[in-house]
Amino acid sequence: MRSLWKGAISFGLVNIPISMYAATEDKSIKFNYLHRECNTPIKYQKTCPRCQREVPAEEIVRGYEYEPGKYVILTEEELDGIPGETTKTIDIIDFVNLAEIDPVYYNKTYYLEPHPGGHKAYALLQIAMTEANRIAIAKLVIRSKQSLAALRVQGKTLILETMFFPDEVRSHEQLAIPNDVSVHPNEVKMAISLISSLSASFDPGKYTDDYREALWRLIKNKAEGQEVYEAPTLEEPEKVVDLLKALEESLKVVQEEQAAVNTRRTL
């Protein structure tokens, strides 16, 4: 696995140097969009509708639309100057019970690996959290974005779950959930009986992505049946020169040179 982030866990006066690795991977089958007429991959270009041309990266700035059609532009230097922007620590704030956290707050999972020299402190935090039956709530910055995080133990490994901040979680109170529905006790009893009959210990190995497997079989069968189309080789287009503009600029240069020569002759 490739490390995505390197830093340290800040635990009181103790710093534990770690590397962070993604604990999950998206195995969804990705498709490219092709032009039906010639099977050429479609290009997505950043263009300016006003200037009617493609915009290179060096001409693109970041703007926040604080009112319709009005933007506040921030430079990279201003963004880099925001406090905490470059911090490389996982700062533990509190220790809480795992059961107190609603899963809606969880975002993404990472494994934390100790660096040489930090093994003892890493093991100490892992053992102490296990015996105290607590997880840690922390803050860190990943890719210029501050995240709330839960630090927990799985076996002897520390796992970090990035979390949404409370104001990023939508309230379910906006939903039209009825409060006055009448349910007969026998219906509740039957539902509980059905739940009991379907209850089991959680075994992640028994759950598979049936759609992805069927989609891959379809792709494999079509490939084995020679239903494969090769994208055509594209030639680099010749650079289009604005002839009139080039002639005007050339004429301007010649006239300036002639004017300079005439000036020297009159001196």
In order of their start, the domains of the chain are 5-24+33-168 (2.40.290.10)
d(CA 70, CA 249): 37
d(CA 74, CA 136): 34
Residue 92: CB atoms within 10 Å: 18
What pLDDT is attached to residue 235? Answer: 65
What pLDDT is attached to residue 221? Answer: 85
User: Which residues fall within 8 angstroms of residue 7, CB to CB, at 6 or more apart?
Assistant: 17, 18, 20, 87, 88, 89, 90, 140
Residue 63 Cα to chain centre, angstroms? 19
What are 114-152's pLDDT values in tens digits? 999 899 999 999 999 999 999 999 999 887 788 999 999
Q: Which among 95, 111, 107, 172 has a CA at the least distance from the CA of 146? A: 107
Which pTM was predicted?
0.71
DSSP 8-state symbol, 226 = T
Distances 13 to 7, 117, 146, 210 between C-alpha atoms, Å: 15, 16, 22, 49
d(CA 103, CA 264): 82
Res. 79 pLDDT band, cuts 50 70 90: confident
Residues 80 and 128 sit within 8 Å (Cβ to Cβ): no
Residues 7 and 86 sit within 8 Å (Cβ to Cβ): no
3-class DSSP state for residue 262?
helix
Res. 248 pLDDT band, cuts 50 70 90: confident
What are 152-206's pLDDT values in tens digits? 999 999 999 999 999 999 998 888 988 888 989 999 999 999 999 989 998 988 8
What pLDDT is attached to residue 134? Answer: 95
Residues 88 and 6 sit within 8 Å (Cβ to Cβ): yes
3-class DSSP state for residue 201?
coil
User: Which residues fall within 8 angstroms of residue 129, CB to CB, at 6 or more apart?
Assistant: 95, 135, 136, 151, 152, 153
What pLDDT is attached to residue 180? Answer: 86
Residues 20 and 100 sit within 8 Å (Cβ to Cβ): no
